[in-house]
Amino acid sequence: MAAESPAALPASLADLPAERWPRHIAIIMDGNGRWAQRQGLERVAGHDRGGHVVRAITRECARLAPIEQLTLYCLSSENWKRPAEELAFLMHLLEQYLVNERPIMMEDNVRVRMIGRREGIPDRVLYELDKTVNLSAANDGLQLNLAINYGGRGEIVDAATSLAYQVMAGQLSPGDIDERSIAEHLYTAGRPDPDLLIRTAGEMRVSNFLLWQISYAEIWVTDKAWPEFDEATLHAAIRDYAGRERRFGGLKR
């Protein structure tokens, strides 16, 4: 995708060279429930507000041409342990998001994909998800990866299982298994690893998110809960990333 001219970028980022931008941003959207409780509201109100923030940040990433991919941690495989009422609301919210945001995604030229296990997700949600994925398949702007029923360890297990079956079938030698072959069997196969991992609500952990893919990602944490996250906070994360020196295990020359 061609880079936007600096004039089209926000003033806080207009001076950053294109090569200093993260091409792929991943976000752990944390703190919805805690934000709601601080406001004296039910936890579900935080999830509802968080959905509006997803729209704003997705649109902003789609507008900022150097950014090519955005991966959002929507529902972890561990989230199924939450109360049934909250899970039901989350599924309803996800379904409504897919329906309501579809025209906006098409307008913004966003391509949508899912990463995670489909098992356990209600059929009505999968229907809307598949519809959005299929309708947006020809879009060539921002790629939005929705991590739903996702767990990093489970992803690696699924990749290892797939490779094991190939070995059993005589299609692959155990000695030929390397980092590249494992990456090709992850949910994110064919997509670049994240450059920048953002976590909200001040938590200093990765929570089983993209364990393989974030090996060399730059991590940026904000004390803001996800419902408080906004475009200015995103810009601050990008600017901080641009000022870092990525060595990938090597030394600065």
Q: Residue 41: is its pLDDT beyond 90?
A: yes
Residue 72: Cβ within 10 Å count: 20
Q: Helices 43-63 and 84-107 sit at what angle, rounded to 10 degrees? A: 20
Annotated binding-site residue numbers for substrate: 31-35, 43, 47, 76-78, 80, 82, 199, 205-207
29-38 mean pLDDT: 95
Average pLDDT over residues 6-12: 73
Q: Per-residue pLDDT for 75 more than 70?
A: yes
State the architecture of 22-150+193-232 in CATH terms: 3-Layer(aba) Sandwich (3.40)
Question: In the chain, pLDDT over 70 holds for what percent of residues?
Answer: 95
* pLDDT band at residue 81 using 50, 70 and 90 as cut-offs: confident
User: Which phi and psi (to 5°) does residue 145 adopt?
Assistant: -100, 115
Report the chain's mean pLDDT, rounded to a whole number.
93
For residue 251, the model assigns a pLDDT of 57
CA–CA separation, 130 vs 75, rounded Å? 17
The pLDDT of residue 149:
96
Q: What is the pTM of this model?
A: 0.93
> Residues with catalytic annotation?
30, 79
- Lowest-confidence pick of 73-82, 103-112, 172-181, 185-194: 73-82
Q: Which of 31-45, 72-86, 126-140, 168-182 has the lowest mean pLDDT?
A: 72-86
* Whether pLDDT at 92 is above 50: yes
Which residue ranges are tagged as binding site? 30-35, 43, 47, 76-78, 80, 82, 199, 205-207, 218
Domain spans of the chain?
22-150+193-232
16, HSE (Cβ side, Cα atoms, 13 Å): 27
The annotation places the binding site for Mg(2+) at: 30, 218
5: pLDDT confidence band, cut at 50, 70 and 90?
very low
Q: What is the pLDDT of residues 241-252, one digit of tens each?
A: 999 988 776 656
